[in-house]
């Protein structure tokens, strides 16, 4: 194998070698690179083995480079310099993405997801303005098709052949109640969970956003839809945020997406049901969608790319 190919296969070890040579001490280089000394030493030995030459001389005074090591050191500095220039050029391209995009977003997603993502995105693309349009998922799908918005972020994906959909993450529903209500009913609660008995359920209001995508049916009776749990009555609201705040105030038990519940300023308790079957909810996906014909445009592509990167890293909502 040619030396060029060997170096290309071990670029990270070349960087480790240069760091040791610059520091003139193995332990200082290990601290700088945040690796262990044995690991760093093994990297250099592998590099020496691949090149067939000794690169470093170790002594009680520290580390020095051999003649072959000096040649590699000079070229390593040149390689890293080129990488720095590439990084600067890449950043310039990022900053040259300018203009405006209109992003349609489901209400609750705008509350707990968007502020954190927007900070992440605007640092990388300060020249690209993102304007928000709130709406329900079906409304956003229509607005995307009519090009009233450029990108939609909604619950479940628009079912259309000319739309590109990117799954950002999945969420599911659970029942929640406030700590104050659990104490008032003298319920067992620990580690963020509350145990509900059938006789307690009959005294409680169910707080429900009936238009939610994962709701199996609209309930106006004393039954909680398909889950056969008998609540005193159902209080219907117009958004998850309203359901969460009424739940937080101790008005009743709310059916909420887990991420919405986690965003509450006061921690809500996850409900478990004794003497009754545990309700099971289907998970739902949160998707970013764009018309196929627009997906290759620079601003649209950058937004989708960053949404995917940010979501894959996990969403911090605190």
Q: CATH no. for residue 195?
A: 3.40.190.120
Of 31, 61, 95, the one marking the end of a domain is 95
Count the neighbouring beta carbons within 10 Å of the beta carbon of residue 261.
Answer: 24
Which tokens sit at 238? 């117009």
Check whether residue 86 and residue 129 sit in a common domain.
no
Regarding whether 247 and 184 lie in a shared domain, the answer is yes
Query: Between 228 and 1, whose confidence is greater?
Result: 228
**Average pLDDT for residues 45-52, to the nearest whole number?**
89
Q: Is the pLDDT of residue 262 over 70?
A: yes
Residues 6 or more apart in contact with residue 61 via CB below 8 angstroms: none
Q: What is the pLDDT of residues 80-121, one digit of tens each?
A: 888 888 887 777 666 678 889 999 999 888 888 899 899 989
Strands 269-273 and 193-196: parallel
Using 50, 70 and 90 to split pLDDT, how confident is the model at 219? Answer: very low
Last residue of a domain, one of 69, 95, 121: 95
What local confidence, expressed as pLDDT, does residue 291 receive? 94
Residue 50 belongs to what domain range? 3-95
The candidate with the shortest Cα–Cα distance to 187, out of 204, 172, 171, 170, is 204
pTM exceeding 0.85: no
The residues that bridge with 284 in the sheet, in sequence order, are 171
Is residue 130 predicted with pLDDT exceeding 90? yes
In-domain check, residue 279: no
Residue 248 falls within a domain, yes or no?
yes
Is 78 within 8 Å of 86 (Cβ atoms)? Answer: no
| Strands of 151-155's sheet in order across | 128-134, 99-105, 151-155, 284-291, 163-171
Are 158 and 213 found together in one domain?
A: no
Mean pLDDT (the chain, rounded) = 83
């Amino acid at each position: 194998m040619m030396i060029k190919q060997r170096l290309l296969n071990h670029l990270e070890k070349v960087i480790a070698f240069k760091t040791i040579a610059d520091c003139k001490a193995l332990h200082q280089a290990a601290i700088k690179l945040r690796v262990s000394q044995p690991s760093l030493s093994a990297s250099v030995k592998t590099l020496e083995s691949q090149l067939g030459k000794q690169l470093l001389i170790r002594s009680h005074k520290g580390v020095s480079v051999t003649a072959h090591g000096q040649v590699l050191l000079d070229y390593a500095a040149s390689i890293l310099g080129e990488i720095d220039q590439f990084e600067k050029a890449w950043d310039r391209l990022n900053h040259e993405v300018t203009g405006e995009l209109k992003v349609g977003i489901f209400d609750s997603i705008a509350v707990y997801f968007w502020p954190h993502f927007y900070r992440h995105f605007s640092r990388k693309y300060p020249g690209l303005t993102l304007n928000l349009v709130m709406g329900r998922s079906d409304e956003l799908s229509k607005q995307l098709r009519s090009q009233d918005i450029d990108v939609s972020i909604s619950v479940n994906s628009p079912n259309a052949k000319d739309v590109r959909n990117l799954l950002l993450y999945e969420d599911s529903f659970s029942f929640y109640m406030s700590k104050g209500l659990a104490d008032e009913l003298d319920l067992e609660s620990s580690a963020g969970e509350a145990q509900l008995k059938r006789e307690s359920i009959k005294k409680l209001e169910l707080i429900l956003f009936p238009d939610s995508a994962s709701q199996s049916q609209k309930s106006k009776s004393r039954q909680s839809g398909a889950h056969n749990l008998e609540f005193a009555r159902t209080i219907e609201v117009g958004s998850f945020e309203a359901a969460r705040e009424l739940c937080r105030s101790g008005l009743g038990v709310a059916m909420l997406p887990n991420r919405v519940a986690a965003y509450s300023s006061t921690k809500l308790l996850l409900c478990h049901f004794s003497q009754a079957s545990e309700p099971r909810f289907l998970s739902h996906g949160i998707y970013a969608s764009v018309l196929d014909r627009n997906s290759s445009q620079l601003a649209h592509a950058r937004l989708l790319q960053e949404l995917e990167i940010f979501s894959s890293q996990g969403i911090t909502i605190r």
